[in-house]
Amino acid sequence: MSEPTTPEITVTGTAGPGPAVSALAAKAAELDAADELAACRDLFAIDDTVYLDGNSLGALPRHVPARMQEVITREWGALRIRSWEESGWWTAPERVGDRIAPLVGAAPGTVVVGDSTSVNVFKALVAAVRTAGPDRDEVLVDATTFPTDGYIADSAARMTGRRLVPYTPGDPIGPRAAAVLINHVDYRTGRLHDLPALTAQAHMAGAMTVWDLCHSAGALPVGLAEHGVDFAVGCTYKYLNGGPGSPAFLYVRPGLQPSFDSPLPGWNSHADPFGMTPEYTPATGAPRGRIGTPDILSMLALESALDVWDGVSIKAVRAKSLVLTDFFLECVRHLPVEQVTPQSHAERGSQVSLRCENAGAVMKELISRGVVGDFRQPDVLRFGFTPLYVGFGDALRAARVLGEVLG
């Protein structure tokens, strides 16, 4: 941690902003004026809070409540069971998957939406191990991964008779590796891992890849098809703004779909789901990733929320994200904090993590003053920058309030 100094951007008492804060304010105004995504902010229910927790729960798109009112009163209330066909409920998992596909660089028919991220990690990882064959007895999992991924990887390894091996992205991958589970962006630090290089490394070793995209889907280009990723999963309630607990997605590479052996075969993934036969015959394509009856209310809220992406380029989102996080880091550079998130654009997701003393108490105070981020044990402040609704003025205000709290 750096030695405490008088924060350059702190404003206290009745004193006006000094030269440094004036220059930053002018820069923020200039960047906001040139922001091609600025109009997207009006699509969200955003108040005067600086909301920097979209990497945990995305903001509500304004039009979603009206859509859900229609779903509840007409599709469920009036049409009832008829809505499975007349309102398109039955095909929603694949239809919504096709809307997410361009945001993660996938082809139509390769993404299905449903279940939680945890369930989809289990499906993908076990299928990857089964695909790799019996001679490969190691399951590699990112040692710094989100805890649930580690728990599931451990269970999947035990259930398939494999051995769990902690793995640091970039370490050598041996000839016994069946599958490698990696988080695209580290949830604590915001570090972006090199998906193309690590996927190629795993394939050179003969291992299958399973990527967790929870902190990258909707924040930056992923390129699943371009880089030959085998399996990928991700949540939809962060940068995709699908709502609390909205269903996750599962990607299966086209060449693997015919052999995708799900450990959770359900009636919804049957080739003839209404045949009710005792024998299981898997469906073809993305529906093979389904299990049981989909959560229609959450599914349709997500589908509606994805409307905010109409006409939006994920490359433009990434470009703004990098400038936005650069600007925030510039604003906080004189504060008594340690930067945890990598400085390099190639290694940075869409969040900034800072380390400071009493971080939990600091975050509580920030929230009480209208700057919402979050805290991770033991001493990390996380600030998620969602380019569709966070501006440069927001970043400056967050830095100023952080300076006041730390000062």
174, 205 Cβ separation under 8 angstroms: yes
Q: Please list, in sequence order, all residues whose beta carbon lies within 8 angstroms of the beta carbon of residue 404, skipping any fewer than 6 positions away.
A: 10, 11, 12, 369
> Could you tell me the CATH number of the domain that includes residue 345?
3.90.1150.10
CATH number at residue 181: 3.40.640.10
Q: What is the residue whose two structure tokens read 């997207």?
A: 40
- Same domain flag for 285 and 350: no
CA atoms of 191 and 123, how far apart (whole Å) = 26
CA 97/CA 42 separation, integer angstroms: 25
My answer on whether 364 and 271 are in the same domain is no
Q: What are phi and psi of 340, to 5 degrees?
A: -100, -40
Distances (CA, A) of 28 to 22, 71, 323, 350, 395: 10, 41, 11, 18, 8
CB atoms under 10 Å from CB of 305, counted, come to 26
Active-site residue identified among 44, 146, 327, 385: 146
Say if residue 284 is in the same domain as residue 319. no
Same domain, 320 and 395: yes
Task: In whole angstroms, give the CA distance from residue 67 to residue 71.
Answer: 6
Question: Other C-beta atoms within 10 Å of 73: how many?
Answer: 10
Q: For 68-106, what is each residue's pLDDT tens digit?
A: 999 999 999 999 999 999 999 999 999 999 999 999 999
Looking at 240, 259, 293, which one is the last position of a domain? 293
Taken as a whole, the chain contains a residue count of 407
The Cα–Cα gap between 52 and 393 comes to 12
Distance CA 188, CA 355 (A): 11
> Within a domain: residue 4?
no
Residues 218 and 285 in one domain: yes
**Number of domains forming the structure of the chain:** 2
Q: 53, 212, 295, 374: which is the annotated catalytic residue?
A: 212
Whether residue 185 is found in the same domain as residue 215: yes
Residue 227 counted as domain residue: yes
Residue 399 near residue 331, CB atoms below 8 Å: yes
Residues of the chain with pLDDT under 50: 1-18
**What are the backbone dihedrals phi and psi of residue 353, each rounded to the nearest 5 degrees, phi first?**
-110, 130
**HSE-up of residue 391 (Cα within 13 Å, Cβ side):** 22
Residue 390 domain flag: yes
Distances in Å between the Cα of 158 and the Cα atoms of 128, 145, 173, 208 are: 14, 18, 20, 18
Domain assignment present for residue 79? The answer is no
Q: Is 382 a catalytic residue?
A: yes
- Is 237 one of the annotated active-site residues of the chain? yes
Domain that holds residue 338: 19-62+313-406
* pLDDT confidence of residue 23: 94
Q: Do 180 and 133 share a structural domain?
A: yes
> pLDDT value at position 20?
80
**Cis amide prior to 169 (ω within 30 degrees):** no
Tell me if residue 375 is catalytic: no
Quick one: tokens of 181? 């589970």
260 in any annotated domain: yes
CB 392 within 8 A of CB 327: yes
The answer to whether residues 52 and 181 belong to one domain is no
- Closest to 1 in 3D by CA, of 377, 337, 340, 353: 337
CA distance 141 to 226: 23
* CA–CA distance, 208 with 32 (Å, rounded to integer): 43
- Same domain for 58 and 106? no
Decide which of 228, 262, 293 is a domain's last residue.
293
DSSP assignment string, 320-342: HHHHHHHHHHHHTTTSS-EE-S-
Residues 336 and 237: their CA atoms lie apart, in Å, by: 32
> What is the CB-side half-sphere exposure of residue 244 using CA atoms within 13 A?
1
| 139 and 247 together in one domain | yes
Give all strands of the β-sheet with 208-212 in edge-to-edge order. Answer: 111-113, 249-252, 231-234, 208-212, 177-183, 138-142, 163-167
What confidence score (pLDDT) does residue 12 get?
Answer: 33
85 belongs to a structural domain: no
- Asked if residue 47 and residue 143 are part of one domain, the reply reads no
pLDDT of residue 103: 98
Only one residue has tokens 């880091």, namely 329
Contact present, 389 and 52 (Cβ < 8 Å): no
Domain identity same for 250 and 397: no
Backbone angles phi, psi at 58, to 5 degrees: -70, 155
Q: What is the pLDDT of residue 70?
A: 98
**Choosing from 382, 389, 392, 397, which is the catalytic residue?**
382
142's enclosing H/E stretch is: strand 138-142
Indicate the residue among 293, 322, 352 that finishes a domain.
293
Query: Is 373 domain-assigned?
Result: yes
Set 123, 162, 238, 318: catalytic member: 238
Enclosing H/E stretch for 374: strand 374-376
Residue 302 lies in a domain: no
Report which of 379, 346, 338, 321 is spatially closest to residue 52, judged by C-alpha positions.
321
pLDDT score at 407? 86
